[in-house]
């Protein structure tokens, strides 16, 4: 049995991938920018203090090309991963700085959520946009925009949803996610280094991903509902 794709669905898939690529590049560039200004130039030397996707794709071609395409084909939305290199010795010497670098990525995703939400709210309040497409996975997958306002609204909706996913998922405090690396921000240096050694044990990465994928729906759904009420209260 072959899957049939309409031109509209293919266009929507391209939109999901384009937003994913932009969002993940902003996320990783924020990590790299923060690291550079806090004393670790590793990502800068790799060319990742940039919104150009090419250096990020070169580092993680699987997570930025293959997996996003497969997830859209199989699940209807594009998702994957990227990474910015960090000097492990620098992170061990300055664990709190490393925690700030880890926090920079999720904060950049939250900024895009708020920016897209503000644009959507203004567009809806002044009736510049026809609907609210893309504000959850189901409607974003089904949304087939018509006309320039519909296309723009769909893109904003995807930016809102996808970056909220990136923000929430990355804050789950298990390795290798950013949330795990943010924890030392609330510790003294000695305890933070002990925490880093503990979390760096082999095998924790796989366990962390499994736990994060299991926990994520329970965490994301209430946060998503709260964000919708905060951003779109009174016009939904």
Residues labelled as active-site residues: 28
CB-count burial class (<10 Å; 0-12, 13-18, 19+) for 147: exposed
Closest to 20 (Cα-Cα) out of 178, 149, 155: 155
Query: φ and ψ at 57, to 5 degrees?
Result: -65, -40
Cα separation, 24 vs 51, in Å, equals: 10
Q: Which of 45, 43, 16 is nearest to 30 (CA)?
A: 43
Distance separating alpha carbons of residues 216 and 103, to the nearest angstrom? 18
What six digits make up the tokens of 151? 């296309």
CA distance linking residue 80 with residue 76, whole number of Å: 13
Contact 184, 119 (CB under 8 A): no
Tokens of 208: 């962390």
Nearest C-alpha neighbor of 34 from the set 162, 182, 164: 182
CA dihedral 21, 13, 152, 111 (to 10 degrees): -30
How many angstroms separate the CA atoms of 46 and 53, rounded? Answer: 12
């Amino acid at each position: 049995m072959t899957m049939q794709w309409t031109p509209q669905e293919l266009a929507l898939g391209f939109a999901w991938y384009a937003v994913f690529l932009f969002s993940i590049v902003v996320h990783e560039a924020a990590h790299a920018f923060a690291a550079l200004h806090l004393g670790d130039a590793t990502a800068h030397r790799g060319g990742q203090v940039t919104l150009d996707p090419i250096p990020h794709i070169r580092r993680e071609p699987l997570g930025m090309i293959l997996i996003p395409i497969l997830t859209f084909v199989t699940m209807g939305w594009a998702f994957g991963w990227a990474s910015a290199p960090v000097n492990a010795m620098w992170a061990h010497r300055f664990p709190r700085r490393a925690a700030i670098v880890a926090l920079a990525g999720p904060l950049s995703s939250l900024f895009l959520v708020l920016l897209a939400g503000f644009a959507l709210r203004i567009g809806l309040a002044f009736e510049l946009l026809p609907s609210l497409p893309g504000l959850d996975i189901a409607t974003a997958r089904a949304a087939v925009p018509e006309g320039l306002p519909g296309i723009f609204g769909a893109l904003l909706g995807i930016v809102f949803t996808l970056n909220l996913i990136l923000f929430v998922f990355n804050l789950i405090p298990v390795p290798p996610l950013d949330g795990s690396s943010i924890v030392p921000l609330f510790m003294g240096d000695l305890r933070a280094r002990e925490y880093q050694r503990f979390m760096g044990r082999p095998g924790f990465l796989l366990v962390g991903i499994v736990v994060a994928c299991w926990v994520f729906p329970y965490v994301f759904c209430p946060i998503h509902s709260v964000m919708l009420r905060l951003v779109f209260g009174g016009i939904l």
